[in-house]
Amino acid sequence: MIDLPAVAERLGVNERHIRRLVAERRIPFLKWGHLLRFDPDEIDRWLESARRGSWSA
């Protein structure tokens, strides 16, 4: 599992953008209490789906 700053760096966007995607439930994430965590494999699949245009927002 990786944290929000790591996802932002991996995707080349700022942390605020990732928080917005989380709030809109447009990116796969897990929430443990107040902590956000992301599965790198799920992020890769999500990104590939978005590239193909099959991810529904």
50 or 38: which carries more pLDDT confidence?
38
Q: For residues 28 and 39, is the Cβ–Cβ distance under 8 A? A: yes
pLDDT at 39: 98
pLDDT score, position 52: 83
The count of other CB atoms within 10 Å of the CB of residue 35 is 10
Tell whether pTM > 0.85. no
Q: Residues 15-38: pLDDT tens digits?
A: 999 999 999 999 999 999 999 999
Q: What is the pLDDT of residue 54?
A: 61
pLDDT reading at 13 higher than 80: yes
pLDDT above 70 for 49: yes
